Amino acid sequence: MIENQETRLRFEKIMNTFAEVFGKPVTREKNRIYFSFLKRYDLDEIEDAAERIINEKKISTFPTIAEILDKIGAPDEELESNALELWNKACNLIIMGDHESDDLILDRTIELAFGSWRKFGETHPENESFDRNHFVNCYKNVIKKEKELILSRGNVFDELNKTREKIKQLETGKSGGQE
C-alpha cells in the first residue's frame, strides 16, 4: 500500500475497530508494529481480512498479525473452488488432445505440478484423486507467487516514483540556482 496520511488513517480505523470488537486497547506501538508487517498488502485486502476475522473469530482475543495474514486474499474455499474449476478445464483440454491452454495460471500450475502438459496427459487415472489434490496445492502456490510478484512490482513502481521526484527536485534546484 502507498504510505500516506489517508492509508494511515484507514489502517488506524481497522485497528480501532479490532480494539472495540475484541475489547483490547491499541497502543501507538502496536499500531506501528502491525502497520510495518502489513504495509506491503493492499489496504482493501486488509479491510476484507479484518471483516472476515470479525465475522468468524470465535475467541475474543485481539487478532494476531498471522491471523490477519491468513485472511488476506481469497478465502481457501474460493481458492479451492477456482483450482478445481481449472483442474476440470485441464482434464477437458487433455481429453480433446490439447497440450496447452490460453490461461497463464493454468499453464504455470500444470508445469509446477507435473512438469509439462505432456506429463500431465500421461498420468494414470487411478491416481486422479492424488493428482487433483497435488494440482490444487500447486495452484495455491502459483496464486501466492503471482500476488507476491504483483506486490513487488508495486514496490518497484513506488521506488521509481520516489526517484523521479528526487530527480525533479534536483533539476528544479539546479535550474533555480542557474537563473
Q: Which of 51, 52, 67, 75 is nearest to 140 (CA)?
A: 75
Q: What is the pLDDT of residues 21-74, one digit of tens each?
A: 999 899 999 999 999 888 878 888 899 999 999 999 888 899 999 889 888 865
The predicted pLDDT at position 179 comes to 45
pLDDT for position 14: 96
Residue 122 is given by DSSP the state T
- Looking at the structure, tell me whether residues 29 and 52 fall in a common domain: yes
- Do 23 and 89 belong together in one domain? no
- What is the DSSP-derived secondary structure letter of residue 149? H
Q: Say yes or no: 127 and 63 in one domain.
A: no
The Cα 65–Cα 138 span in angstroms is 25
pLDDT, position 113:
95
Last residue of a domain, one of 71, 101, 122: 71
Phi, psi of 103 (to 5 degrees): -110, 110
Q: Which domain holds residue 150?
A: 76-159
User: How many separate domains does the chain show?
Assistant: 2
Supply 59's cell numbers.
Answer: 475467541
Single pTM value for the model: 0.49
pLDDT digits (tens, 9 = 90+) for 86-136: 999 999 999 998 777 888 899 999 999 999 999 999 999 999 999 999 999
d(CA 48, CA 46): 5
